[in-house]
Every structure is written in C-alpha cells, then in structure tokens.
Amino acid sequence: PCYSGILAFRPHALLIQPSHSSIHVSKRQTRDTMDDEISITICGDGGCGKSSITLRIVRSAWTHDYDPTIEDSYSVTRTINGQTYSLHLTDTAGQEEYRGMWSAANLTSDAFLLVYDITNAQSLQNLDFFAELIEMEKENRQEQGRCWPAIMVAGNKCDLQGQRQVGAAEGLEWAKSRGCGFMETSAREVVNIEETFASIVKRVVEAREQHASGMRPDFPSLINPTPHNQRASAVPETQQSAPAPNITSDAEKQRYSQSESTATSPQKKKKKSGFFSSLKCW
C-alpha cells in the first residue's frame, strides 16, 4: 500500500466513463479550441513515468520496458459528469538532450500535467525547467487576453514506498505554492490515473468559465512560488483545500502538521467526504 494516501486539491464526486472505442493515435493539428476539446501536454524528467501514465489512460496498458520518448500524440474521449470531452494528449521528451526539440506547439495546450518520480528527489527539482516555460506562456496569454492553462502535478510511482525519496507533503507543498493541483499516482498499479485527468478536465472547464466572465485567476508564479499560507484570500477556497494525507513517518507528520497549521483560517471550509477523499493509494 502507498501509506501517503491520495492527495488532491479539490475533492469532487466525478463520474468517469472511459470510452476506449474512440482511442486512436493522431498528430496534433492547429485548431480552434472547442468546449468539448481539451489539449494536455504531459511533461517531466526522463524516466518518471509520463509515457506509462499516458498509455494507461489511452490503452489501459503498462510496460516494464523504458524507451525514451521524443514526442507522441494521442486522442481519447472521456465522459465526466455527463459531458463527453475529446482529450488530445502530448507525451513529451524528458531527457535533457531532447529538450531542445520541444515544439512551441506544446505550450499552446489547455492544460499541463507535470510528472515527477517519488523515488527520485531530483525529478521534482527538474520540474522547474518546465515550470519556467509554462510561466512564460502564462504571461503571453495574459498579455493577449487568452485563457490561462490549468496545471496539475502528479507524484508518480507511489506503489514504490520502500524507495520513496519525496514525501507526500513535500510534493503537495510544491504544487500548492504554485497554484497547481496535486495527486500521487501509480501507472503500474492504476492508482489515480483516471482521477488525475478528470481533475484536469474540471480545472480547464473552470478556467474557461472564469475567462468568459472576465475573471483573472489569482495564481502565484511558477518561477517564484508563494507559500500557500501567504496566498491571497481572493483565491477560491476550492483551490486551496486538500484531503489530509495518511502520513506515517514522524518526520512527515511534523512537517505536514506545521504546513497545515499555518494555512488554517476561520473562513476555511470543512473538508467534505467525497469521491476523492474515499480513495486509497494501493
């Protein structure tokens, strides 16, 4: 079992209905953003499991073999809360020698999934490279009056508890301080794969609704993150709350307790028991 449990910013009772018959490999083309079409770029260090996560959501498959990806694109449909969406996924290169091949098209996505390996502390630090690119894209979109992207962080390989180097609280803090959603996943054991993409879809839908109403997301910088306890109260509560992880080590308990105590305020809503909070990391 993954004793750190599942972590997510916002628990929602999501209805997820995979539709595998519509899966096909495709090359992404320039297109107008439609309400039911969502493009997602998956990025992170090499070997952290980006392709494994992608293959799980696309083909319900997993492989032991590691074959460095340069770039692969897929399309898949998912029905979430009664609405069917076409997800256009781009699995990008993580190896440093391939990063120069990153296409500018990768930054035009509606959402980004930043993946790190919980058994490799350096992989979390290396997310800064991708965070800088996304931050520049956010600034460009703001200047052009375009919708900001949704960003999710996934701590992958949570089934390898004996090799864990990144605590659940550390990954959660990294994500929260940058205004990102967070979950721990396991492509091998199929933990929180569907739930992660369902959460991404919901974030994209919310971002589009805010943009249409003229609201500007009050998210901190990805380059100069703000500790979540210092973030402005204008940020919706649903973007701050997270179910408490089931942390076992004394060090993690103390660290998580300290971070949560500073974030508590009289206006904070009570955590609700829902779909996400009922899940465990197996």
**The predicted structure's pLDDT at residue 95:** 56
**The predicted structure's pLDDT at residue 92:** 84
Q: Is residue 145 part of a domain?
A: yes
Q: Is residue 168 part of a domain?
A: yes
Q: Is residue 9 part of a domain?
A: no
User: In which residue ranges of the chain is pLDDT below 50?
Assistant: 1-33, 66, 70, 231-248, 253, 256, 259-282
Of 4, 9, 3, residue with least CA distance to 182: 9
3-state SS string over 125-155? HCHHHHHHHHHHHHHHHHHHCCCCCEEEEEE
Q: Using alpha carbons, list the distances in angstroms from residue 102 to 54, 69, 110, 235.
A: 18, 12, 17, 32
Which two three-digit tokens encode residue 250? 């004394």
The whole-angstrom separation of Cα 72 and Cα 27 is 8
Strand partners, 25: 74
Strand partners, 87: 38, 76
Of 190, 204, 112, 202, residue with least CA distance to 156: 190
Q: Is residue 83 part of a domain?
A: yes
Q: Is residue 217 part of a domain?
A: yes
Identify the three-state secondary structure at position 159.
Answer: coil
Number of structural domains the chain divides into: 1
Q: Is residue 276 part of a domain?
A: no
Q: Is residue 280 part of a domain?
A: no
**The predicted structure's pLDDT at residue 34:** 60
- The chain-wide mean pLDDT, for the chain, equals 73
Which two three-digit tokens encode residue 241? 């709350």
**The predicted structure's pLDDT at residue 98:** 54
Q: Within 10 Å of residue 251's Cβ, how many Cβ atoms?
A: 10
**The predicted structure's pLDDT at residue 197:** 96
* Chain segment 117-159, per-residue pLDDT in tens: 999 999 999 999 899 989 999 999 989 999 999 999 999 999 9
- Enclosing domain of residue 190: 16-27+34-263
Which CATH number belongs to the domain containing residue 139 in this structure?
A: 3.40.50.300
Of 43, 96, 45, 47, residue with least CA distance to 72: 43
Q: Is residue 71 part of a domain?
A: yes
**The predicted structure's pLDDT at residue 107:** 82
